[in-house]
Amino acid sequence: MFEPILLKNVDVQDGHLLSTYEAGGGYQALAKVLRGYTPDEVIDLVKQSNLRGRGGAGFPTGMKWSFVPKRVDKPKYLCCNADEGEPGTFKDRIIMERDPHQLIEGLAVSAYAIGAEIAYVYIRGEYVTAIRRLEQAIAEASAKGYLGARILGSDFNFAVHIHCGAGAYICGEETAMLESLEGKRAQPRLKPPFPAVAGLYASPTVINNVETLVCVPHIVVRGADWFRGIGPDRSPGPKLYCLSGQVRKPGLYELPMGIPLRELVEEHAGGPPPGRKIKAVIPGGVSAPVIPERGLDVGMDFDSLAAAGSMLGSAGVIVIDDATCMVKVATRIIEFFHHESCGKCTPCREGLNWVVKVLRRIEAGEGAPGDLEQLEKLCKGIFGNTFCALGDGAAMGLRAALAHFRDEFVAHIEERRCPFH
């Protein structure tokens, strides 16, 4: 059995209170770095741990931090990406609702490492409970001196502010999030300059996902080797997997990185509902290309999934059984991206609109010969040409669905109806 680390407190009574957190050894990582580590040493430690960002892209966290210029006359900022909009994903919510101090400690240690005195936690506005819990935790932590001026008697000053999103998936994209924090329409920014150099208010800014930040105190306490020892060396650590869809035991699972997808779905989550078979799994939120059943033996880590033509993304694992129409799933996913397109770039805004129209037609049994070629052509026009990864995600997902389940699309067109009805 893998002993939960990140989820240690989530099922505990009053797990969200400071007393519970302290009783389990909370804030010792913060004390440890403030007493004995320079910021650069913390960065080195995180580098050695091979921690990679849990927000989706899997960028090495220590390396990202090291891009922050050391000497600038501007303030530096840490932004926590708690926008969690990727369909099929709910891990950050559960941490913030049930163990918010873990995040606060992660923020404090990370801010210390990069030299930030202010962090903004960008939480999606729907997460009212998480917002309240986090506010409460900030108040508790401030009262106890884990936040504020001269923390634990050191020279380190640090404040955490919550910024509520208001319903826009694109805010999860880090530069769109910065725009949103600056009070603008959340549309991604050009890079370069990268946020580490010129981010929020044109100041050096690090953006990290909740789960990424939450790993940091554990690395401090248990060491980089411990972390690297869990799962594949290039993509290690404990990992939160969000299981949903047609499985018997949907829920949040903490298991090592690299665990085979089949094991995750069939053993931990209990497999498909009685009498059904798994048809396909989306392994990392809807941006991740779907994997047909025969591909389930892949390891759940950044590199293995990439090699298998999909991605770990947010580890939102959505299980689809054999009674489900893939055209419908694909349509719903593209509708989501279409709805959430920020509207900035042509291929995403216009291309997805076109794709949606064709898909809806096919799904409704009104498809025509040539539609699939048209969709493929559109995917080609969109993929790689959009301003941010949202459009790419949509095109990749559709390509995978068309590749693996072409027969279902063809059946819709030829039979002029949905064979699953």
Partner 1 sequence: MTMREKIEEAAARYPDQRSAIMPALLIAQRQHGHLPGPVLEEVADILGVERIWVYELATFYTLFHTEPVGMFHLQLCDNVSCMLRRSEDLLRHLEHVLGIRKGETTPDRLFTLSTVECLGACEMAPVMQVGDDYHGDLDIARIDALLDRLRTEAGRPTGADHAAAASPGE
Partner 2 sequence: MLKVTIDEQTLEVEAGSTVLQAARRLGIDIPTFCYLKRLPPLASCRMCLVEIEGLRRLQPSCATAVTDGMVVRTNTTLIDETRSSMLDMLLANHPLDCPICDKGGECELQDMVMAYGPRRSEFRDPKRVFHSRDIRLSPVIIMNVNRCIQCQRCVRMCEEVVGAVALGTVEKGMDTAVTGFEGSLASCDQCGNCVEVCPVGALMSFPYRYKARPWDLAETDTVCPHCGTGCQLTVGARKGEFMRVRSKQEHGVNRETLCVRGRFGLDFIESRDRIKRPMIRRDGALVPVSWDEAGDYLRRRLSAVENKAAGGLASARLPNEVLYQFQKLMRTVFRTSNIDCSSRWSAPFDTLGPLMAAFHSRAPLDDVIGNDCVLVVGGNVTEENPVTEYLLRDAARRRQAGLLMLSARPSRLDADARVVVRVPPGGEAASIASVVAGLVAAAGQALPGDALATIASTIGRPTAETGGEGPGRLATALKEGRSATVLVSVDLLRSPEARATLQQLNNLLQILRLLGKGTAMQFLFDRANQMGAWDMGVLPAALPGLQAVTDDAARATLARNWGAEIPSEPGADLDAMLELCIDGRMGALYIAGTDPLIAYPDRDFVTRALGATDLLIVQDTFLTDTAGLADVVLPAAGYGEESGTVTNNEGRTQKVRKFREPAFEARGNLAIFDFVAALRNRALQPSTQDEIFDEIARLVPAYRGLTQDGLGAHGTFTTAVPTPPTGEFFALPPAPTATDALMLITGNGLFHNGYLSERSDILNTVANDPYVAMSAPDAARLCLSDGDQVVVRSAGGKLTAQLKIDRQFPKGLVFVPENYRALRLNSLMRRGEYPCPVEVQGVHRTLEVDRTSRIWRGV
**Based on CB atoms, which residue is closest to partner 1, 153 or 201?**
201
Question: Is residue 1 involved in binding partner 2 (CB under 8 A)?
Answer: no
Question: Is residue 385 involved in binding partner 2 (CB under 8 A)?
Answer: yes
Query: How far is it between the farthest Cα atoms of the chain?
Result: 73
Question: Is residue 288 involved in binding partner 1 (CB under 8 A)?
Answer: no
Per-residue binder mask for ligand FMN (CB under 6 A), 41-60, x = binder: ------------xxxxx-x-
Question: Is residue 172 involved in binding ligand FMN (CB under 6 A)?
Answer: yes
Nearest distance from C-beta of residue 340 to partner 1, angstroms: 7
Q: How far, in Å, CA of 362 to CA of 418, rounded? A: 9
389 binds, among ligand FES, ligand FMN, partner 2, none (CB under 5 to 8 A by kind): ligand FMN
Question: Is residue 219 involved in binding partner 1 (CB under 8 A)?
Answer: no
Nearest distance from C-beta of residue 66 to ligand FES, angstroms: 35
Per-residue binder mask for partner 1 (CB under 8 A), 69-108, x = binder: ------x--------xxxxxxx-xx---------------
Per-residue binder mask for ligand FES (CB under 6 A), 69-108, x = binder: ------------------xx--------------------
Which residue is it, tokens 């505990």? 12
**Based on CB atoms, which residue is closest to ligand FMN, 18 or 214?**
214
Nearest distance from C-beta of residue 167 to ligand FES, angstroms: 14
Subset of residues 146 to 205 that bind partner 2, contact rule: CB under 8 A:
168, 170, 185, 190
Report CA torsion sign: 397, 402, 407, 411. positive
87 binds, among ligand FES, ligand FMN, partner 2, none (CB under 5 to 8 A by kind): ligand FES
Among 167, 193, 370, 384, binds partner 1 (CB under 8 A): 167
Question: Is residue 179 involved in binding ligand FMN (CB under 6 A)?
Answer: no
Subset of residues 182 to 201 that bind ligand FMN, contact rule: CB under 6 A:
none
Among 21, 37, 158, 387, binds partner 2 (CB under 8 A): 387
Phi and psi angles of residue 239, each rounded to the nearest 5 degrees, phi first: -140, 140
Taking contact as CB under 8 A, which single stretch among the options 40-48, 196-204, 272-280, 357-365 is the one that binds partner 2?
A: 357-365
Report CA torsion sign: 368, 370, 376, 379. negative
Taking contact as CB under 6 A, which single stretch among the options 13-21, 81-89, 137-145, 147-155 is the one that binds ligand FMN?
A: 81-89
Which residue is it, tokens 């037609």? 361
HEC string of the chain? CCCCCCCCCCCCCCCCCHHHHHHCCCCHHHHHHHHHCCHHHHHHHHHHHCCECCCCCCCEHHHHHHCCCCCCCCCCEEEEEECCCCCCCCHHHHHHHHCHHHHHHHHHHHHHHHCCCEEEEEECCCCHHHHHHHHHHHHHHHHCCCCECCHHHCCCCEEEEEEECCCCHHHHCHHHHHHHHCCCCCCCCCCCCCCCCCCHHHCCEEEEEHHHHHHHHHHHHHCHHHHHCCCCCCCCCEEEEEEEECCCCCEEEEEECCCEHHHHHHHHCCCCCCCCCEEEEECCCCCCCCEEHHHCCCECCHHHHHHCCCCCCCCEEEEEECCCCHHHHHHHHHHHHHHHCCCCCHHHHHHHHHHHHHHHHHHCCCCCCCHHHHHHHHHHHHCCCCCCHHHHHHHHHHHHHHHHCHHHHHHHHHHCCCCCC
**Based on CB atoms, which residue is closest to ligand FMN, 17 or 312?**
312
Tell me the sheet residues that pair with 239: 255
Among 146, 227, 336, 405, binds partner 1 (CB under 8 A): 336
Residues in the site for partner 1, rule: CB under 8 A? 75, 84-90, 92-93, 124-129, 161, 163-169, 180-186, 201, 242-246, 250-252, 282, 286, 316, 318-321, 324, 328-329, 332-333, 336, 339-340
Residues in the site for partner 2, rule: CB under 8 A? 168, 170, 185, 190, 338-347, 349-351, 353-354, 357-358, 361, 368, 370, 374, 377-378, 380-381, 384-387
Residues in the site for ligand FES, rule: CB under 6 A? 87-88
